Amino acid sequence: MPLSEDQPAELHVPPGEPVKLVLTSDDVIHGFFISAFRLKMDVVPGRYNTLWFTATRPGEYLVQCSAYCGTRHSEMRSVCIVHPGRPSFDEWLRNAKQKTLGKLTPVDRGRRLYVGKGGCVQCHSLDGTRRIGPTFKDLYGAEVVLRGGVRKLADEDYLREHYTPVDLVGLYWHFVDIIWIYLFPLLYLIR
C-alpha cells in the first residue's frame, strides 16, 4: 500500500520469516509475480487468494503484473524490499506507521477506519439505519445476543474482540453471529 499518493507501493518483508499475502482485485484479473522468488499468483476480483513465501536474501526485487490487465498493464510494477534483518524491518514498520497514522488523532484514525476503503461503513451505520450488519448506534454498553443465545455486554473488550479489523477471526465469527441472529427468525417464518 502506498504511504502517500506520490509514493509508489512497496512490499517490505523481513528476511527468513514466512510472509502471507492475501490477494484480491477491484477490477480485472491481475497476476502477482516476483520472478526472483519464482512466485506467481492470480489476483481475481471477488476472490481472495493466499500466497506464502519466505525471502532469504536481502535486496530489492521487481514485482510486476503477469496478466495483461488493460492499457496501463506495463505500469503495474513495484518492488519487494527484503530487509537485512528483523531490526531493520521493525524500524521501517515503526516509521511507516508514524507516516500514515502518527499525525492523526484517535478520532481521525477511527474515522479513517470507518469510512476508508473496505471500512466499517460498508456494512454498519452510525445513525441506526439498517444495513448488512448491525448499526453502531447505542451499541456501546448494550447487551448483544450471539450465536446460541449467548448474551454479552458490548464493552471495550467485546468491541476489541469483534470489531478490530486486525482480528479477522473475531470479525468473521461476529459476522457468523450476525447472520445467525438475522436468519434464524426468517428460517422460523419459512417453516
Beta carbons within 10 angstroms of residue 37's beta carbon: 16
Write the DSSP symbol of residue 46.
T
pLDDT for 51 beyond 70: yes
Of residues 26 and 117, more confidence is placed in 26
145-180: per-residue pLDDT in tens?
A: 877 888 888 876 777 666 654 333 333 333 433 333
C-alpha cell of residue 64? 510486476
38-42, 139-143, 154-158: range with lowest mean pLDDT: 154-158
CA distances, 178 to each of 7, 125, 150, 160, 171 (Å): 39, 15, 12, 16, 10
Instruction: Report which secondary-structure segment, H or E, holds 171.
Output: helix 168-190
pLDDT attached to residue 55: 95
Question: Model's pTM, two decimal places?
Answer: 0.55
pLDDT for 1 beyond 60: no
Q: d(Cα 120, Cα 67) in Å, to the nearest integer?
A: 31
Instruction: Report which secondary-structure segment, H or E, holds 143.
Output: strand 143-145
pLDDT attached to residue 138: 83
